[in-house]
Amino acid sequence: MNRLRGTGGAVSGGTGSDGDPNAVATGTIAEEQPAESSERTDIGKSEPPESLHPAWSSFGVTLRRTAKGDYLLRRSEYTLTHRHGTHALGELAEAAPGLTGFHADLPTVDPEQVLYLDLETTGLGVGAGNIPFMIGLAFLQGDRFVVEQSLIRHPAEEYAMLHDLEERLRNYRYLATYNGKTFDWPLVQNRMIMNAIGRTIRQPRHLDFLHPSRSVWRNTLASCKLSYIEEERLGITRTEDVPGSLAPQLYFQFLADGNPAPLEGVFTHNELDLLSLACLSIRFGHLLKEDIFRRIPYPEETEELIRTGLWLEKMGKSGLTEELYGIAAEHHEPSPSSLMMLAARDKKAGNWERAVVLWQKVISRTNDSILPAGQEACIELSMYYEHRTKELELSLQHARTAFARHERMYGGHRRDAKRSAEMQNIRKRIQRIENKMIKLESGALPS
């Protein structure tokens, strides 16, 4: 499991075969996938049927036999009314069109064209020594949300598992992951190449939700691991979950002693990750449709409000941004750094009136502190009054305030090259404004 998935526990009430009334089937697909052309025709003729350890069936794992080889498979189905935290899986059909924003050059996203992928691997990185021992897939199929998990008992089964994955990928346009564009998909490609599965692998369109998660929740959450996001923003609480970091250790233990029982927790962890990934796609789909805040409350932190607006603008959406910015600007306890972020956006957009108000608010809120945002706001106002309104007295006042704040922050410490350059630039700014004022008084500079 990629370390960005994080750790956590099982959702209260269980998943799959653990008693959830919305999980209607587990381990029932072994005879259905893949297509008939890849099914073995010699089973029972040239070799005796293989018997699995009884522990496998206790958590719904069956033997998958194909013309390309064998591997293990576990299938779980959920009704669309099943709620995983804040969202019900049935919301995917409504939210999926919003995901078109990730690929505006394509037609509206069909939810049944999205394949969710999550790997459990023997290590980190995408090199030759890292093997995906479990491939977790999830997809919408009619009135069911299906989770299929493949596992290999030894390296010889990898070819058959990857071959079936390659066949399934042909039926989907989008691949939804969490850091999959950097980790899961390159690893799958490398393993397919090493197993001589096609020279040209069809490239899916990626829906990688790590990057928008970082855009929206960076600095607001302690971490952008999936485990943090699902708990803090998706209302998902896990209990008694196997941490993803332990999955390789449990797999190696199985290879050593042949007892599959500890792997039940790995299956559950992977399944929960896929459900959380589906719910995260629902959240971003609703956000891109700009109807999300009819379903959940507005964010409480100013930075999340502003980052959400900035991300929507980046994705070409503008219907919700001004509402978010307005809430942030009037917040009773805004963070100075977030106000500077919004002011920079307004400056770039030419909304000078609000930018000035925001810079003044930052200066007021950092008056008794040594936060760098206060110094930055003074410099911005100095530039504004010097170049836009030509109010040199105000410009000089803010430049001197910036100098004083810099002295207060770093005066008692040895300045590095960056801080020395900052101080030198402020000195030059003060000197330039003073020279302009002298020329203006002498008539050498037109008023």
Q: Are 86 and 296 in contact (CB under 8 A)?
A: yes
- pLDDT tens for the chain, 447 residues long, are 444 545 444 443 344 444 454 565 444 333 444 333 344 444 445 566 677 888 999 999 999 999 999 999 999 999 999 999 999 999 999 999 999 999 989 999 999 999 999 999 988 765 667 899 999 999 999 999 999 999 999 999 999 999 999 999 999 999 999 999 999 999 999 999 999 886 677 789 999 999 999 999 999 999 999 999 999 999 999 988 888 889 999 999 999 999 999 999 999 999 999 999 999 999 999 999 999 999 999 999 999 999 999 999 999 999 999 999 999 999 988 999 999 999 999 999 999 999 999 999 999 999 877 789 999 999 999 999 999 999 999 999 999 999 999 888 876 667 778 888 989 999 999 999 999 999 888 876 676
User: In Å, what is the CA distance from 345 to each residue of 278, 311, 354, 395?
Assistant: 32, 12, 10, 21
Helix (H) or strand (E) holding 427, with range, is helix 417-442
Helix (H) or strand (E) holding 234, with range, is none
Residues in the chain: 447
Helix (H) or strand (E) holding 148, with range, is strand 144-151
Q: Radius of gyration over alpha carbons of the chain, in Å?
A: 28
DSSP reduced 3-state for 410? helix
- Give the per-residue pLDDT at 49: 65
Contacts of 239 (CB under 8 A, 6+ apart): 9, 10, 11, 12
- Give the per-residue pLDDT at 416: 79
Q: Which CATH number fits domain 334-442: 1.20.140.10, 1.25.40.10, 1.20.5.510, 3.40.190.10?
A: 1.25.40.10
DSSP reduced 3-state for 158? helix
Q: What whole-number distance in Å separates Cα of residue 322 and Cα of residue 315?
A: 15
Q: Are 101 and 315 in contact (CB under 8 A)?
A: yes
What residue spans in the chain does CATH classification 1.25.40.10 cover? 334-442
What residue spans in the chain does CATH classification 3.30.420.10 cover? 3-294
The secondary structure of 250-285 as a DSSP string is HHHHHHHH---TTHHHHHHHHHHHHHHHHHHHHHHH
What's the pLDDT tens digit per position in 250-300?
Answer: 999 999 999 999 999 999 999 999 999 999 999 999 999 999 999 999 999
- Give the per-residue pLDDT at 245: 85
pTM for the whole structure: 0.85
- Give the per-residue pLDDT at 36: 37
Q: What whole-number distance in Å separates Cα of residue 424 and Cα of residue 306?
A: 32
Q: What whole-number distance in Å separates Cα of residue 221 and Cα of residue 319?
A: 25
The secondary structure of 68-109 as a DSSP string is TEEEEEEEEEEETT-EETTEETTHHHHHGGGGGGGGTTSPPP
Which residue carries 């009619």 as its tokens? 142
- Quick one: 3-294 is in which CATH superfamily? Ribonuclease H-like superfamily/Ribonuclease H (3.30.420.10)
- Give the per-residue pLDDT at 12: 38
The sign of the CA dihedral 170, 137, 144, 294 is negative
The sign of the CA dihedral 70, 123, 248, 165 is negative
Contacts of 75 (CB under 8 A, 6+ apart): 25, 26, 27, 28, 29, 30, 60, 146, 147, 148, 149
